[in-house]
Amino acid sequence: MADMVHEVNTSVAAGRRGRPGYDQQSVLNVAVEVFNRHGYEATSMGILADTLGISKSAIYHHVPSKGDLLRLALDHALGGLEAVIIDAKATSGPADARLEFVLRNTIAVLVERLPYVTLLLRLRGNTEVERDALKRRRDFDHQVAELVQLARDEGRLRRDVDPRTTTRLLFGTINSIVEWYKPGGALTPDMLADNVITILFDGLHGEV
């Protein structure tokens, strides 16, 4: 997170000082919450300013535009996912172990950056920033799908289920977490990941 903020400050906000009470990261956190609540297109800088309790001009001391807020938010979500897929544990070893590593850590990123990933999953692709983010998301999805196919080819996943169906079910299950998971409850992130991985790899049949 600190690295992202530093990069942003040196690129789109070089030489600018934020208003007292807020820094760029806190403005971004609020913006993501408002985008998720109202939708990106329906959120004006005026709505953001009212939510923050500052003027619109004060927001521009932190970021040049609403589009830049969206770009920074999506970079944060996608950066976490992309770091998982290029990790050494995702690129070597048996394909099923690699797949489990990717899925488990995708869940970890989703929970850690829940509002940001929620925003990513609700994109409609109406702006260039959104379309670029959707392309990066598709690239991530394709790499996971390749792992599913490879694990199937290695005989480590069952062959009687179409791999495209398997991939869709994996993504559907994990992506649905943003709609119901509540951080801070009895279900910890590690427990959540353990439960999801168990269901995905072992199914609902257990010892009797």
Comparing 106 with 22, the larger pLDDT belongs to: 106
CATH, domain range 2-64? 1.10.10.60
N- to C-terminal Cα distance for the chain?
45
pLDDT digits (tens, 9 = 90+) for 175-207: 999 999 999 999 999 999 999 999 999 987 765
Q: Give pLDDT, residue 45.
A: 95
The rounded distance, in Å, linking the Cα atoms of 99 and 105 is: 10
Domain boundaries in the chain? 2-64, 73-202
- Tokens linked to 149: 């196919």
Q: Is residue 173's pLDDT more than 90?
A: yes
Q: Give pLDDT, residue 203.
A: 85
Torsion of CA 167, 173, 179, 180, to 10 degrees: -170
Q: Give pLDDT, residue 118.
A: 98
Exposed e or buried b per residue across 92-118, where buried means at least 16 C-beta atoms within 10 angstroms of its C-beta = eeebbebbbbbbbbbbbbbbebbbbbb
pLDDT digits (tens, 9 = 90+) for 111-151: 999 999 999 999 999 999 999 999 999 999 999 999 999 99
What angle, rounded to 10 degrees, do the helices at 163-175 and 189-202 form?
A: 160
Q: Thinking of the domain 73-202, which architecture would CATH place it in?
A: Orthogonal Bundle (1.10)
Q: Is residue 171's pLDDT more than 50?
A: yes
| pTM for the full predicted model | 0.86
